[in-house]
Amino acid sequence: MKELIAIQSELKAPKNQFNAFGKYKYRSVEDILEAVKPLLLKYECTLTIEDEVKEVGGLVFIEATAAIQVDKEGRTEGRAVTAQAGIDINRKGMDVAQSYGSSSSYARKYALNGLFLIDDTKDPDSTNDHGGKKEELTPSHVKWQGAKDSLANGKVTLEQIKSVYILTSQNEKLLLP
């Protein structure tokens, strides 16, 4: 789809937001949409973003899908990318609606990043460790062993552990603070 390639190469989505606590700039979903809308118009494409609440093994998450389409001579061409973000309804300082909204924004941002090839390797979501080093969780990792201990004590189910492992191995390595 040549229109998507052109948009990917022309898109400049600046980091217009500032986090005073962490002292870093970042881009939001709104920043990406503001930057991409003129290019969608230029190349006569449409963009849709949809959310779906899913649950796997007791883990509830939002799956966002960003899809771009263009009509060509009576037929439609398109591409879509999905991204997921977990929902923590017990997050301190947020009510249930805010928790869902936060997860939706996060998943949408990363679906758009994937669709438009926006590299966030230097963005705070991937580099900010809030003062602590992040580590990879693997089956041989001590925290994985702790998860197995929680399983033995009835705190979590084997299905929940498998679901988290499968979800994280399909997308990214699970990082823990």
Structural domains of the chain in order of their starting residue, each with its CATH number: 2-128 (3.30.390), 129-177 (no CATH)
Residue 165, phi-psi category: left (phi > 0), alpha (psi -120 to 50), beta (remainder) = alpha
Q: Which residues pair with 62 in a beta bridge?
A: 53, 85
Residue 141, phi-psi category: left (phi > 0), alpha (psi -120 to 50), beta (remainder) = beta
53: pLDDT confidence band, cut at 50, 70 and 90? Answer: very high
- pLDDT tens track for 78-96: 999 999 999 988 888 888 8
- pLDDT tens track for 125-166: 545 554 554 444 455 554 455 555 555 555 566 666 555 555
pLDDT, residue 93, reads 87
The H or E element spanning position 151 is helix 142-152
Residue in the structure block whose two tokens are 């290019």: 39
Q: Which of 102, 176, 110, 172 is nearest to 143 (CA)?
A: 176
Burial of 60 (0-12, 13-18, 19+ CB in 10 A): middle
pLDDT, residue 176, reads 40
- CA pair distance 89, 32, nearest whole angstrom: 27
